[in-house]
Amino acid sequence: MKIKKELLETFENSYPKRDYLIIHQADEFTSLCPKTGQPDFGKITISYIAGRKCVELKSLKFYLQSYRNDGIFYEKVTNQILDDLISVLKPKWMEIKGVFTVRGGIFSTIIATHGKK
Amino acid sequence: MKIKKELLETFENSYPKRDYLIIHQADEFTSLCPKTGQPDFGKITISYIAGRKCVELKSLKFYLQSYRNDGIFYEKVTNQILDDLISVLKPKWMEIKGVFTVRGGIFSTIIATHGKK
Amino acid sequence: MKIKKELLETFENSYPKRDYLIIHQADEFTSLCPKTGQPDFGKITISYIAGRKCVELKSLKFYLQSYRNDGIFYEKVTNQILDDLISVLKPKWMEIKGVFTVRGGIFSTIIATHGKK
Amino acid sequence: MKIKKELLETFENSYPKRDYLIIHQADEFTSLCPKTGQPDFGKITISYIAGRKCVELKSLKFYLQSYRNDGIFYEKVTNQILDDLISVLKPKWMEIKGVFTVRGGIFSTIIATHGKK
Amino acid sequence: MKIKKELLETFENSYPKRDYLIIHQADEFTSLCPKTGQPDFGKITISYIAGRKCVELKSLKFYLQSYRNDGIFYEKVTNQILDDLISVLKPKWMEIKGVFTVRGGIFSTIIATHGKK
Amino acid sequence: MKIKKELLETFENSYPKRDYLIIHQADEFTSLCPKTGQPDFGKITISYIAGRKCVELKSLKFYLQSYRNDGIFYEKVTNQILDDLISVLKPKWMEIKGVFTVRGGIFSTIIATHGKK
Amino acid sequence: MKIKKELLETFENSYPKRDYLIIHQADEFTSLCPKTGQPDFGKITISYIAGRKCVELKSLKFYLQSYRNDGIFYEKVTNQILDDLISVLKPKWMEIKGVFTVRGGIFSTIIATHGKK
Amino acid sequence: MKIKKELLETFENSYPKRDYLIIHQADEFTSLCPKTGQPDFGKITISYIAGRKCVELKSLKFYLQSYRNDGIFYEKVTNQILDDLISVLKPKWMEIKGVFTVRGGIFSTIIATHGKK
Amino acid sequence: MKIKKELLETFENSYPKRDYLIIHQADEFTSLCPKTGQPDFGKITISYIAGRKCVELKSLKFYLQSYRNDGIFYEKVTNQILDDLISVLKPKWMEIKGVFTVRGGIFSTIIATHGKK
Amino acid sequence: MKIKKELLETFENSYPKRDYLIIHQADEFTSLCPKTGQPDFGKITISYIAGRKCVELKSLKFYLQSYRNDGIFYEKVTNQILDDLISVLKPKWMEIKGVFTVRGGIFSTIIATHGKK
């Protein structure tokens, strides 16, 4: 798969001793259904308590856009984003929430977490 | 009753070691009132932490549609869906929430749970 | 097709000289897609200025429920309800609006009218 | 029927030469279904351009409350209120709108008008 | 007072070993103010974990309607409904919430509970 | 009555040849009921097409506050504000809309207009 | 200051052994800014678990209205209401929440509590 | 550009003599900005009065999806869809409305129409 | 004043024969009050039917940002934007709507128009 | 950087023994992006339990306005406000929440806390 976590850039956390919460909500996520090739749409919310590094916002946008033409299941998308961000940021705590639009009359939400809050 | 849990299909959970949450919300559930034969309408929300298996979304849609012409009480619907999904998925935790539209000026909600979160 | 306008009952309009507006909104309409057999869901709004007759509310409910297991397109449903109600009520003016839920990410609305307001 | 328009009191319109609009919305209307004896609930909106008289607000409340234990159809309620207020106020223009809660999955709205705006 | 808990009917709980939650929300509650005789309006929400019995929905509607012409305070209504349902259902846990509309610019809510969740 | 239109200040309209619309919505209007002395609350919306003068915003606030402890009916308030602003601004067109909060379960709206739009 | 807790009247709690929650929300609170004399507006929510006494609703309305022409800060209003109600009702638990409208682009909320829930 | 109106399929209008309105709203439209290559997102609403032909819903979905990886301006998208649908359907009246999400803090809407309603 | 319409760039209208509507809504407009120096905030909506030219979106953003530190009244802002865009675009029709946030409890809206729709 | 916490003024807490909550929500915060110079917009919510001092509302407004033309990242803004208010107020507990508008399709929220509630 051509998704590349190398797209993610970071900057140094200026307040490493204070456990504050950072939340980024991307409302325009889209990928493809691996079975039918039909487009999927969703909202991805990334919440974390930074360790030494924070994710740079523009690079996060490009990273999420890189899924646009990949065929990938909802469960996989959410866990993949979590794995990639953990490996790049080493956060103290992180949660990825994917809310995907209706398919066959059914909404789906996936929530995956790393570490303790 | 002609409801068949055999309609439910599964796929393997790719992240069995991570306890992440999966939520499916079906807004277009309908069955019949066993007393009057009148149609009932509701929303069914299925939340679970998967064990080895996840429920396949299209098969879940067909399973829920199979209640369309069955006469069945709200309490029974909700618990029956829970029982069927437990037996097929063996989830670590599962909750079924049924929110049913007004009858005689009264909304009804039934919430049944399996396991500890 | 087994839809029967004979289900519709009427009562006499007590104010035939006053052109007042009657609106009934049925939020729980369901039929089947004639191509796929999949359930369709929608809201049907019936607005009219009565002539000599008004439609009896309970019979209207049974009439709309009679579409539950029929395979019929959106355009056809809306125009069929208009034709049936015109033939039974002879209203001075009537509008049928059908708002149907998402299929393939697309909402559909059909609005058909009879007479001048 | 024991509904009495004598409950309605008026006060003189201080601005009879200016055609201004007065709207009263009563959200807590209730009467009984004449067929089943079951309670009906609704919102009644009274809009008018006064002639020489305006309706006194407290008397309007008592007038609307007088329907509480009467068995009366939606169409009749709305037209009856219009007739009573016309006979007491002689307004230049008046509209009564009754929006009634769901019965058998169907909302109903009745709008009756007197005069030209 | 003429309120009669004998109106309440029950049916047997099919899942007595599973502690699931049942919620009924009645949006059209009305009684009278014992001081002024003026009508009061509110929403009553009944939440419970059943023991051996569940309350039958239609009988619950008739029970709540029986307050229509009784003069009774908000605090009394809410606690009375709790007492009546406890005595008939013997639930494991129950909560009654009454949300009453504005009087003199003030909304009131009363929440009474029985047992531990 | 101690309400004084002298509180209103104006500034010159810089675009007297263009008929543009100015709307001021004051959400915190309060006066007293002349019958009971109880406080009334409402929203006042002033829309106009200016002639040579526009109303200065701060002076408009003080003007509306001057009603705080006056006993005055809804119909009177709305028409009085219209009369005062017409006499000070000589607008090409003006509309005053007063939306008053619930009294005895009834909302009231008064809309008075001057000139043609 | 002319605020008088003597305005508050009580009635006996009919269910002193059951710890139920009473909430009164007054949406039309107004006082004056002690610095500028400008009117302040807000919503006051009073939540409590009664001891032997409940506050009578009409007297509560008059009590809150008595602040109408007093110059008093937000923090003071909220704590003052709490102190007055504690001294009159001796509640088991009580919370006062004041939500005040925008001043200089800033909303303010004050929440003061007495006892443990 | 690889957008092909040949994707659009039609079916015969069963009610060609009645001028009824058909509305399709596609909430998941996406294309690319021709300048930056960044994804654009929007909602496309297609309203028309059919002549002899109606557009088939599934083919409409595939047609709209064909813009996914095209670089095209908002104004062009909206007018292009109008031109393609006119050439295929020959409607009596048609309107295309594109509502596009925020770019640089600015929402954009384009509305193009064909014929008279 | 340092506001410069030279910031506005245009591109050629590809559909000059079709009178279609273009709407840009900028939610993040800010300027300064010329009296107090305090910041004002608002939403600016620009609607037009293009002649030969359309406004380029990024240049429109920079143009609107150029007001950030100017002291200017609401009426002036709205009319100034209209004048600048007319002079640059020569549109067939144009409307500028400015909705400004609360000052002293009062919202203000200014709507200025050029040409006939 | 020219942000000066000296702008913040305080007044003495009249209820230092009661741990009550004070919340100020400023909806009109704006600063500049340090990378691009483009304006950023957001809402800042300040919640605290006062020690001996409360922040004076007008001075808080001027303090927040002082960021208007500073280039500063979201994480920095939120933590800086927290640091400044801690140093001036010595609160028992404090939380700063910054909710920033969409940039590149992504909303961002930063929540930083001091002390235990």
pLDDT one-digit tens code per residue, G18-38: 999 999 999 999 999 998 899
* Cross-chain Cβ contact C112/H20 below 8 Å: yes
* Cross-chain Cβ contact B28/C101 below 8 Å: yes
Give CA–CA dist H111/H106, Å, rounded.
Answer: 17
Of H41, H65, H68, the CB nearest to A28: H41
Question: Minimal CA–CA distance to B65: which of F54, A31, C40?
Answer: C40
* Cross-chain Cβ contact D101/B105 below 8 Å: yes
Q: The tokens 């009453």 sit on which residue?
A: E100
Q: Which residues contact C83 (CB under 8 A, 6 or more apart)?
A: none
* G chain contacts of residue I41, beta-carbon cutoff 8 Å: 105
Of B23, B27, B28, the CB nearest to A109: B23
Report whether pLDDT(H64) > 50.
yes
- Write out the catalytic residue numbers of A: 33, 40
Give CA–CA dist E20/G63, Å, rounded.
Answer: 44
Report whether pLDDT(I1) > 70.
no
* Cross-chain Cβ contact H105/J101 below 8 Å: yes
Q: Which residues contact F69 (CB under 8 A, 6 or more apart)?
A: F31, F32, G69
Beta bridge partners of B55: B10
* Cross-chain Cβ contact H26/C106 below 8 Å: yes
pLDDT of C12 reads 95
Of J102, J104, J110, the CB nearest to A22: J110
Other Cβ atoms closer than 10 A to G90: 13
* Cross-chain Cβ contact J112/A13 below 8 Å: no
Of B20, B22, B28, the CB nearest to A105: B28
Beta bridge partners of C35: none
Report whether pLDDT(G1) > 50.
no
F-G contacts at Cβ under 8 angstroms = 20
* G chain contacts of residue J58, beta-carbon cutoff 8 Å: 104
Q: Which residues contact F18 (CB under 8 A, 6 or more apart)?
A: I79, I112
Give CA–CA dist C105/B23, Å, rounded.
Answer: 20
pLDDT of I29 reads 96
Instruction: Please state, in angstroms and as integers, the Cα–Cα distance from residue E29 to each residue in D25, D40, E7, E84, H3, following that order.
Output: 20, 11, 16, 16, 58
Of B38, B68, B101, the CB nearest to C39: B68
Provide the shortest C-alpha distance from residue F82 to chain G (in Å): 23
pLDDT one-digit tens code per residue, B22-36: 999 999 999 999 988
Beta bridge partners of H96: H46, H112
Dig out the tokens for C101 from the structure.
């839920």
Dig out the tokens for B96 from the structure.
């079924």
Provide the shortest C-alpha distance from residue C76 to chain D (in Å): 21
pLDDT of G106 reads 92
Report whether pLDDT(C1) > 60.
no
Q: Which residues contact B2 (CB under 8 A, 6 or more apart)?
A: B66, B70
Q: Which residues contact D17 (CB under 8 A, 6 or more apart)?
A: none
Q: How confident is the model at residue E2 (pLDDT cuts 50, 70, 90)?
A: low
Provide the shortest C-alpha distance from residue B14 to chain E (in Å): 31
Using an 8 Å CB-CB cutoff, list residues of chain B that contact chain A: 13-15, 18-28, 54, 57-58, 60-61
* Cross-chain Cβ contact B57/A105 below 8 Å: no
Mean pLDDT, residues A12-21? 94
Dig out the tokens for H105 from the structure.
């803090």
Dig out the tokens for E65 from the structure.
């309607």
Give CA–CA dist F48/F45, Å, rounded.
Answer: 10
In the annotation, is H40 catalytic?
yes
Sign of CA dihedral G87, G88, G90, G94: negative
pLDDT one-digit tens code per residue, B40-77: 999 999 999 999 999 999 999 999 999 999 999 999 99
Instruction: Please state, in angstroms and as integers, the Cα–Cα distance from residue A69 to each residue in A2, A27, A32, B57, H78, following that order.
Output: 9, 17, 6, 21, 23
Q: How does the average pLDDT of chain J come out, rounded?
A: 93
Q: How confident is the model at residue A1 (pLDDT cuts 50, 70, 90)?
A: very low
Length of chain H: 117
* B chain contacts of residue A76, beta-carbon cutoff 8 Å: 14
Report whether pLDDT(B1) > 70.
no
* Cross-chain Cβ contact I101/J69 below 8 Å: no
Q: How does the average pLDDT of chain E come out, rounded?
A: 93
Mean pLDDT, residues C10-24? 95
* J chain contacts of residue A67, beta-carbon cutoff 8 Å: none
pLDDT of C3 reads 60
Instruction: Please state, in angstroms and as integers, the Cα–Cα distance from residue E45 to each residue in B108, E18, E75, E81, E117, following that order.
Output: 10, 22, 14, 10, 16
* Cross-chain Cβ contact A110/B20 below 8 Å: yes
Provide the shortest C-alpha distance from residue I64 to chain H (in Å): 10
pLDDT one-digit tens code per residue, J36-54: 899 999 999 999 999 999 9
Give CA–CA dist J96/J84, Å, rounded.
Answer: 11
pLDDT one-digit tens code per residue, F26-54: 999 999 999 889 999 999 999 999 999 99
Beta bridge partners of J100: J42, J108
* C chain contacts of residue B44, beta-carbon cutoff 8 Å: none
In the annotation, is D33 catalytic?
yes
pLDDT of D43 reads 97
What's the pTM value of the predicted model, to 2 decimals? 0.93
Q: How confident is the model at residue D104 (pLDDT cuts 50, 70, 90)?
A: confident
Q: How confident is the model at residue B3 (pLDDT cuts 50, 70, 90)?
A: low
Q: Mapping DSSP to helix (H, G, I), strand (E, B) and coil, where does residue J84 land? A: helix
Q: Identify which has the larger pLDDT, C116 or I100.
A: I100
Give CA–CA dist E72/E67, Å, rounded.
Answer: 8
E98 near E43, Cβ under 8 Å? Answer: yes
* I chain contacts of residue F19, beta-carbon cutoff 8 Å: 113
* Cross-chain Cβ contact C68/B101 below 8 Å: no
Give CA–CA dist C66/C75, Å, rounded.
Answer: 17
Report whether pLDDT(F2) > 50.
yes
Dig out the tokens for I87 from the structure.
């002079």
Provide the shortest C-alpha distance from residue J20 to chain A (in Å): 23
Provide the shortest C-alpha distance from residue D25 to chain F (in Å): 5
Encoded amino acid at I103, one letter: R
- Burial of residue C6 (CB within 10 Å: 0-12, 13-18, 19+) is exposed
Question: Minimal CA–CA distance to D59: which of F35, F77, E69?
Answer: F35
Asked if chain I contacts chain F via 3 or more Cβ pairs within 8 Å, the reply is yes
Provide the shortest C-alpha distance from residue A14 to chain B (in Å): 31
pLDDT one-digit tens code per residue, A24-72: 999 999 999 998 899 999 999 999 999 999 999 999 999 999 999 999 9
* Cross-chain Cβ contact C28/B41 below 8 Å: yes
Q: Mapping DSSP to helix (H, G, I), strand (E, B) and coil, where does residue J44 land? A: strand
pLDDT of G46 reads 98
Instruction: Please state, in angstroms and as integers, the Cα–Cα distance from residue C88 to each residue in C4, C92, E22, F78, F110, following that order.
Output: 12, 12, 43, 48, 42
Dig out the tokens for D106 from the structure.
């169907």
Provide the shortest C-alpha distance from residue C71 to chain A (in Å): 17
Provide the shortest C-alpha distance from residue G2 to chain F (in Å): 17
Give CA–CA dist B65/H74, Å, rounded.
Answer: 40
Q: Identify which has the larger pLDDT, A21 or J116.
A: A21
* Cross-chain Cβ contact C104/H20 below 8 Å: no
pLDDT one-digit tens code per residue, I21-56: 999 999 999 999 998 899 999 999 999 999 999 999
Chains near D, with 3+ CB pairs < 8 A? B, C, E, F
Mutation pick from B100, B102, B106 vs chain D, by most beta carbons of D within 10 Å, is: B102
**Predicted ipTM of the assembly:** 0.91
pLDDT of D116 reads 86
Mutation pick from J14, J22, J61 vs chain G, by most beta carbons of G within 10 Å, is: J22
Q: Nearest-CA residue of chain J relative to I101?
A: J28
Length of chain B: 117
Of G28, G39, G101, the CB nearest to F68: G39
Q: Which of I33, I54, I70, I83 is catalytic?
A: I33
Q: What is the DSSP letter of I5?
A: G
- Write out the catalytic residue numbers of B: 33, 40
Mean pLDDT, residues E96-111? 92
Tell me what percent of the residues of chain I surpass a pLDDT of 70: 97
Question: Minimal CA–CA distance to J116: which of J96, J91, J97, J98?
Answer: J91
The torsion angles phi and psi of J6, rounded to 5 degrees, stand at -65, -15
Report whether pLDDT(C116) > 50.
yes
Asked if chain E contacts chain G via 3 or more Cβ pairs within 8 Å, the reply is yes
* Cross-chain Cβ contact H75/I13 below 8 Å: yes
* Cross-chain Cβ contact H107/I18 below 8 Å: no
The torsion angles phi and psi of C45, rounded to 5 degrees, stand at -115, 125
The torsion angles phi and psi of H5, rounded to 5 degrees, stand at -70, -10
pLDDT of G2 reads 55
E-G contacts at Cβ under 8 angstroms = 54
Report whether pLDDT(H51) > 60.
yes
Of F15, F18, F27, the CB nearest to I105: F27
Q: How does the average pLDDT of chain C come out, rounded?
A: 93
Of G27, G30, G38, the CB nearest to F30: G30
CA dihedral D9, D14, D20, D23 (to 10 degrees): -30
pLDDT of B69 reads 94
Beta bridge partners of D7: none
Q: How confident is the model at residue H2 (pLDDT cuts 50, 70, 90)?
A: low
Q: Nearest-CA residue of chain F relative to D43?
A: F106
Q: How does the average pLDDT of chain I come out, rounded?
A: 93
Mutation pick from E24, E48, E60, E95 vs chain B, by most beta carbons of B within 10 Å, is: E24
Instruction: Please state, in angstroms and as integers, the Cα–Cα distance from residue D21 to each residue in E102, F71, F109, F110, F115, following that order.
Output: 26, 22, 8, 6, 15
